[in-house]
Amino acid sequence: MTMTAATSTHQFSLGSSKPHITDRGGNRIDAKANVFPALKGMAISLATIDSKGYREPHWHPNANELSYCLEGRALMTIFSPGANHDTFIIEPGDIAFVPMGAIHHIQNIGSTSLRMLVCFDNEQAEDLELSSSVGITPDSILGSTFSLEPAFFSKFKKSITPNYFGISEETPPLSLSYATNRYKLSLEAFNPQIHTPGGTVKISNGFYLPTLEGLAVYSLFLAPHAVREPHWHPNAAELNYLISGTVHIKLLSPDGHLDSFDMVPGDISFMPRGYYHYIENTSHEDVRMAIFFNNTFPSDIGLSGCLGAYSNQLLASLFKVKVSDLDSLPKYQQDLLVVAGGG
């Protein structure tokens, strides 16, 4: 995989960064505001879990979580308020949502490495782990909680330092009931809601996964030289992860600053809420991107529908052309989202 250094304040080379957490069983690369200052209201991690490895049970006190499986096979369990237990299998193209504060784990049940994108709706998402939480609790308190003698817990290896990752020889019994779940959606199994000559968009928002809160994700496919049309999101920031191909992005900020940069697989980019931008496939190959938003129902205004909303007389005055020069300009009444390249 070719890696490039970030060339913009709105770009970060996630795939080429060193892991922030490494433990027996896996590692995690974090893109939070402390390393990617452009982030606001969002953060993302790339978690790699070895075969038989697991991400220990943990929760996020200040953030909802939405993950996208890049490769591998995992078992996930969420324990949430109301004594709800949700256990399900995650495979490539699946997404999973975890509400803020709900404890959850991810266990690799495949023979190869598991790679997960994990997005949060807070730029400084916090973790608390089960191992360190038990580790600071006196044996007497644990004994009272479970109606056992304190000596029962004296054998536990306890520390305020969490394990994060680990290895388990357990072969979990798998049930057909794990195939579907209210917190999981097989996004890549969908037929795309948007399909044009330039590509497709598979949308997951609160309509398709009702448990979602504060986050959504789209799967974007761009044909060679196609463009995710110039647009902005009135109610959401956008956090992009490039899975395959190469793209060029331009981003216009309200202060008139223009960011223009290229992305390679493993890169992420951040588009603040309401900022004008487009994504262009600059290669002869297909492009795949996972695009996260910090709103359950992200809205969109595209240039195609925008120009269709105004008269040619107004546009002619604005762009200093004759009204007749605009006779062939299509008057789209809604956004196209994805357009083919080539002019």
Instruction: Give the tens place of pLDDT for each residue, 276-326.
Output: 999 999 999 999 999 999 999 999 999 999 999 999 999 999 999 999 999
On whether residue 16 sits in a domain, the answer given is yes
Q: What is the mean pLDDT of residues 97-121?
A: 97
* Residue 271 is assigned to a structural domain of this protein: yes
Do 15 and 162 fall within a single domain?
yes
Question: Do 117 and 200 sit in the same domain of this protein?
Answer: no
- Verify that 147 and 234 share a domain, yes or no: no
The answer on 159 and 18 residing in a single domain is yes
Report the alpha-carbon distance of residue 70 to residue 135 in Å, rounded. 33
Q: What is the pLDDT of residue 3?
A: 41
If asked whether residues 194 and 253 sit together in one domain, one would say yes
Domain at 308, CATH number: 2.60.120.10
* pLDDT higher than 90, residue 160: yes
Q: How confident is the model at residue 1 (pLDDT cuts 50, 70, 90)?
A: very low
Judge if 41 and 148 occupy the same domain: yes
pLDDT mean over 254-261: 95
Query: Of 160, 185, 210, which closes a domain?
Result: 185
Residue 154 falls inside a structural domain: yes
Residue 152 counted as domain residue: yes
Domain end, chosen from 135, 150, 185, is at 185
pLDDT at 170: 80
Of residues 342 and 15, more confidence is placed in: 15
Separation in Å, CA 49 to CA 110, 199, 237, 267, 296: 10, 32, 28, 20, 28
Domain boundary among 162, 185, 208: 185
If one counts every other C-beta atom within 10 angstroms of the C-beta of residue 8, the result is 16
Which pLDDT score is estimated for 4?
Answer: 46
30 and 150 in a single domain? The answer is yes
In this prediction, residue 342 carries a pLDDT of 65
Residues 140 and 193 in one domain: no
**50 pLDDT higher than 70:** yes
Nearest to 212 by CA among 93, 65, 88: 65
pLDDT at 193 over 80: yes
What does the alpha-carbon distance between residue 215 and residue 296 come to, in Å, rounded to a whole number?
5
207-218 burial, b at 16+ Cβ within 10 Å, e below that, comes to eebebbebbbbb
Domain that holds residue 64: 11-185
3 in a domain, yes or no? Answer: no
Count of structural domains within the chain: 2
Same domain, 205 and 237: yes
The predicted pLDDT at position 51 comes to 95
- Residue 4 inside a domain? The answer is no
Q: Does the residue 33 lie in any domain? A: yes
Mean pLDDT computed over 188-211:
95
Q: Which residues pair with 68 in a beta bridge?
A: 95, 117
Judgement on whether residues 31 and 79 belong to the same structural domain of the protein:
yes
Same domain, residue pair 25 and 165: yes
For the full predicted model, state whether its pTM sits above 0.85.
yes
Is residue 5 domain-resident?
no
Mean of pLDDT values over 11-36: 95
65-102 tens-digit pLDDT: 999 999 999 999 999 999 999 999 999 999 999 999 99
* pLDDT at 2 > cutoff 70: no
Can you give the pLDDT at residue 172? 77
Residues 149-170 have a mean pLDDT of 93
Residue 34 has pLDDT above 50, yes or no: yes
